[in-house]
Amino acid sequence: MTGTEHPPRRAPAEPLPADPAPGPVPDGPRTWPHVLSLVASGVLGAAAGGLAISLAAHSRASCDAGRDAGGRTELALLLPVLVVGFAFCGVMVAMLTPRRHPLLRMLPVVLALGALVLWFFAVRGTLDGYPGDLGRCGPDNVPPWWPGWLPS
């Protein structure tokens, strides 16, 4: 090249194909039973969060463990976080399950929320190592009314 020549021209690019029209979602459109199952999962999750707080507070009160009677101050601060968090988990599990009958869809939600309640009870409800009332509960602060076959 001597400076006056131009580089060869490229062939014009082919136009991009038009975006396809939005089609139905692979699982099908959202129906009222589907939406209601999501709402029910959120409500069930919020109730499970309240149940977890209640179980932990009653366990602490039974064993006289925690700073105040049952650790209610600490648990009251956790209540909004737990209710919203459990509701979110319930909705997410419902969204991740395949779209089948709404009652069958609730089964994994109930199982997941039950596992979360048991986990919270084991972690925050039974303060292992806290010097509670040994006359009421053992050194692990598990109340006598808690079934032995459930983890704590």
- pLDDT tens digits for 77-108? 888 999 999 999 999 999 888 877 777 888 99
6 falls within a domain: no
Q: Can you give the pLDDT at residue 19?
A: 57
Q: Can you give the pLDDT at residue 62?
A: 82
What is the sign of the dihedral through the CA atoms of 14, 15, 19 and 20?
Answer: negative
Query: Which among 127, 151, 20, 149 is positioned nearest to 64, based on CA atoms?
Result: 127
119 falls within a domain: yes
The CB density around residue 59, as the number of other CB atoms within 10 Å, is 26
CB 110 within 8 A of CB 96: no
pLDDT higher than threshold 50 for residue 38: yes
Residue 24: pLDDT band with limits 50, 70, 90: very low
Alpha-carbon gap, residue 70 to 90, rounded angstroms: 27
CA distance to 6, 112, 127, per residue, from 138 (Å): 90, 29, 11
Q: Can you give the pLDDT at residue 86?
A: 96
Q: Can you give the pLDDT at residue 60?
A: 81
The mean pLDDT value for 26-44 works out to: 79
11 falls within a domain: no
pLDDT higher than threshold 70 for residue 144: yes
44 falls within a domain: yes
Residue-range definition of the domain harbouring residue 49: 32-125
Number of domain units in the chain: 1
70 falls within a domain: yes
61 falls within a domain: yes
CA distance to 74, 92, 102, per residue, from 39 (Å): 29, 11, 11
72 falls within a domain: yes
Alpha-carbon gap, residue 41 to 96, rounded angstroms: 12
Per-residue pLDDT tens digits for 121-140 = 888 887 777 776 667 777 77
Q: What percent of the chain has pLDDT over 70?
A: 79
58 falls within a domain: yes
pLDDT higher than threshold 90 for residue 113: yes
Q: Can you give the pLDDT at residue 136?
A: 76
